[in-house]
Amino acid sequence: MSAAEGPLVVGVDTSTQSTKVLVVDAATGAVVASGQAPHTVSSGAGRESDPRQWWDALREALHQCGDAAREAAAVSIGGQQHGLVTLDERGEPVRPALLWNDVRSAPQAHRLTEELGGAKFWAERTGSVPAASFTVTKWAWLAENEPEALRATKAVRLPHDYLTERLTGEGTTDRGDASGTGWWASGTEAYDEEILAHVGLDPALLPRVVRPGEVAGTVRDSHDLPFAKGTLVAPGTGDNAAAALGLGLRPGTPVLSLGTSGTVYAVAKRRPTDPTGTVAGFADAHGDWLPLACTLNCTLAVDRVAALLGRDREAVEPTAHLTLLPYLDGERTPNLPNASGVLHGLRHDTTAGQLLQAAYDGAVHSLLGALDLVLDEDADRSAPLLLIGGGARGTAWQQTVRRLSGRPVQVPEAKELVALGAAAQAAGLLTGEDPAAVARRWNTARGPVLDAVERDEATLTRIAGVLSDASPLLERSTNAH
C-alpha cells in the first residue's frame, strides 16, 4: 500500500449477491485496498438471505483489505434497498430477510394501495406507490403468512441498517433508505403513524433516522472486524442513493444503472409524487430527492438468455423483427410482478445472436420509457446518460443504450460506485463537506463519452406494440397468482 495523503475511510456495498469493500484515501479518492465476498440467495418460492451471512461477508471482504482497514478513521455502509430484516430481543434474525426482488407481496401491495386512499394518497404521502419490492408490503405479507415470526419480531431493519447496528450497537437508518420502505412520509420526513397503524407496526421497532452529515455512532468493541473502537460510523444509505453520492451528481444529470435490476434516476430539488407508480419518489442521502424508476430484469435476465443459447453475452446480431420482453422475475416497470417472458416474431431464419440482441432491447426499453418521467422539465434532454453498474462496460449494453436512447453515453471509469459513495459519506464526516462534493473532488464521474447515434424508432415502436398486445395476457398471468 502506498502512503496515503489523507486519512483512510471505508465504503461498503452490501448488495443482493455480495459485499464489496473499498478503503479510500479521503484526500484524493485513491482506492488503496479492496475486498469482496459472496452471499447466498434462496431460489425457492421467494428471494431470501440470512442477514448473518452479510456480516460474515463484510468480515471476509475487510480481511482481504489487510492493514489498510485497520487504519480507517470512518466507515459507511451502502446497501440493497427495501429488504425486510426482522430481529428478536437478542438482535438475532427471526427469519431470513425478504429481499427487494421477492415479489410474493404483490397481493398485499395492491390491497394496501386500495385500503389507504389509492395511488394518489401513497404518492403524496410517501412519494411512491407501494410495489411488491417495498418493505411495507413485505411486512404485510409476513403478518398474513407467518404471524409467529411477526410476534417474535422486536426490531425491524433494512439491510444497511442491520450492518450499521452491528457496528455501533445503535438502531439507525437514513432518509434515503427510509424513503424506500413505504412507511416514511416524504413530506414531513418522519415515519407515517397512519400507515404504521394500518399495517400493525409499532414505530418503537424502527430505527432512528439520522440526518445527512450526522454521525450514526462509533464502532463498539464487541465485534470481530479490524476497526478500532471509536471509529466513526456514517449513516449509510440505500444503494442507489450511495451511487448518486459516488458520482457526485448534480440535479438533472440522468443515470442509467445496469445491474441485477436496472434503474434510471437523477437528483432533483422538487419532491417527486408520481401517482402512476412508475417513478419512486425516493429521498437522496444529502437533503435533495432521487426520483427513480426500476426494472427487476436487467443484466441477470440477459445473461440467462445468453446461457440458454450457449453464447457469450457480447455475441449479438442485429434484428428487425424479433421482440423479447425479458420479464423472467416478474416486472416492476411495467408493474407486472408475476409476469413471465414474452417472445414474439420467431422465424426459421432467426439466429441466436438476434434473439440475444432482442433480450438487450427489451431490457433497455422499459428504463428509457421511464426516463422522461424521472427528469423534471428543467433537465437537459441532450446531456450524456451516465451509464453505471455491472453491465456498463459491456459493448452490447453500451450500443443498445445509445441506439435506443439517441443520446450520448458516458461511462465513468470508477468502479464500485455504491462503495465509493459510502466512502465519500464517511469522508464527509471527517472534513465537514457534502459527500457529493467530496466525490466531485475525487473526479469519480470521469470517463469516455460515446457520441449520440440516431435513435432506433422502429425497434422502440415494435417493442411498444408487442407490449401493448401482450398486456392482457400478462395481466391475466398477474391476476392468476
> How does pLDDT run across 229-278, given as a tens digit for each residue?
999 999 999 999 999 999 999 998 999 999 888 989 999 999 999 998 88
DSSP code string of 61-118: HHHHTTHHHHTEEEEEEEE-SS-BEEE-TTS-BSSPEEPTT--TTHHHHHHHHHHTTH
CA distance 400 to 418: 24
207 touches 184 (CB < 8 A) = no
CA distance 367 to 392: 14
Instruction: Determine the pLDDT at residue 330.
Output: 86
pLDDT tens for the 481 residues of the chain, in order: 456 788 999 999 999 999 999 999 999 999 999 999 999 999 777 899 999 999 999 999 999 999 999 999 999 999 999 999 999 999 999 999 999 989 899 999 999 999 999 999 999 999 999 989 899 999 999 999 999 999 999 999 999 999 999 999 999 999 999 999 999 999 999 999 999 999 999 999 999 999 999 999 999 976 789 999 999 999 999 999 999 999 999 998 999 999 888 989 999 999 999 998 889 999 999 899 999 998 889 999 999 999 999 999 999 999 999 999 999 988 878 878 788 999 999 999 999 999 999 999 999 998 888 787 888 776 777 789 999 988 999 999 999 999 999 999 999 999 899 999 999 999 999 999 999 999 999 999 999 999 999 999 999 999 999 998 887 777 665 544 4
Torsion sign, CA atoms 321, 326, 330, 333? negative
Question: In 3D, which of 427, 417, 391 has the Cα closest to residue 301?
Answer: 391
Torsion sign, CA atoms 374, 379, 179, 53? positive
138 touches 105 (CB < 8 A) = yes
105 touches 163 (CB < 8 A) = no
33 touches 20 (CB < 8 A) = no
Taken as a whole, the chain contains a residue count of 481
289 bridge partner residues: 268, 283
Q: Coil, helix or strand for 365?
A: helix
Instruction: Determine the pLDDT at residue 481.
Output: 44
Active site residue 469: no
Please, is 320 exposed, middle or buried when counting C-beta atoms within 10 Å of its C-beta (0-12, 13-18, 19+)? exposed
Candidate list 25, 161, 239, 274, residue with the active-site label:
239
In this structure, what C-alpha cell is assigned to residue 305?
438468455
CA distance 57 to 19: 6
In this structure, what C-alpha cell is assigned to residue 431?
472534513
Question: DSSP class of residue 419?
Answer: H
